[in-house]
């Protein structure tokens, strides 16, 4: 399974703007299979744990407040080479640098409110998927 999955989060801004459908559509059209999905609202503490690697960064407090400010959609996506392929689909972290046709170019508001999260390595993908989903909440098509 490792290598074929990645975790995505549709962030509170994109959920508020009614972009869940369009973003999931782009994900499916790009050949990813959604093998787990749910809508939740993180507590500040949960958001802090999820982004713990950024604890020392100046944007940590604002980021965790934003990520716990409203509902999010979390999903596990399956595709060969999922982490790299999904990072191509979402585009650069800063939407000002994201290529046309990427999710962030279309739907992000700013570097913090950048519409979606995608795991940055295969190792982190496994950790992040386990953060939100038990094994019994996942399907596998591969
Ligand atoms: P994400 O893919 O969720 O992973 C970490 C997040 O931190 C990132 O998207 C951005 O939303 C946020 N982030 C990264 N760099 C900055 C920055 N310079 N200023 C504000 N937020 C940032």
pLDDT per residue over 29-48, tens digit each?
A: 999 999 999 999 999 999 99
Which domain range does residue 107 map to? 5-137
Q: Is residue 129 part of a domain?
A: yes
User: What tokens appear for 63 in the block?
Assistant: 């980021």
pTM assigned to the model: 0.96
Q: Is residue 22 part of a domain?
A: yes
Which residue shows structure tokens 């046709």?
A: 101
CB 27 within 8 A of CB 36: no
Distances (CA, A) of 81 to 1, 2, 88, 140: 11, 9, 11, 15
How many folded domains does the chain comprise? 1
If one residue of 93, 103, 119 were mutated to test the ligand 1 pocket, choosing by the most ligand atoms within 8 A of its CB, it would be 93
pLDDT value at residue 141 = 66
Counting as low any pLDDT under 50, the low residues of the chain are none
User: What tokens appear for 79 in the block?
Assistant: 């595709």
Ligand 1 atom 2 nearest Cα: 117
Q: Is residue 40 part of a domain?
A: yes
pLDDT value at residue 28 = 98
Active site residues: 117
Q: Is residue 142 part of a domain?
A: no
pLDDT value at residue 1 = 54
pLDDT value at residue 76 = 98
């Amino acid at each position: 399974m490792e290598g074929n999955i990645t975790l995505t989060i549709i962030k509170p801004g994109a959920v508020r703007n009614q972009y869940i459908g369009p973003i999931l559509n782009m994900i499916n059209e790009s050949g990813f299979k959604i093998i787990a999905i749910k809508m939740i609202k993180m507590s500040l503490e949960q958001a802090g744990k999820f982004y713990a690697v950024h604890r020392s960064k100046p944007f940590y407090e604002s980021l965790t407040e934003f990520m716990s400010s409203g509902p999010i959609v979390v999903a596990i996506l399956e595709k060969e080479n999922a982490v790299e392929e999904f990072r191509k689909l979402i585009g650069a972290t800063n939407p000002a640098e994201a290529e046309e046709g990427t999710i962030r170019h279309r739907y992000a508001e700013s570097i913090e409110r950048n519409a979606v999260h995608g795991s940055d390595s295969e190792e982190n993908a496994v950790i992040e998927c386990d953060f939100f989903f038990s094994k019994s909440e996942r399907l596998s098509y591969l």
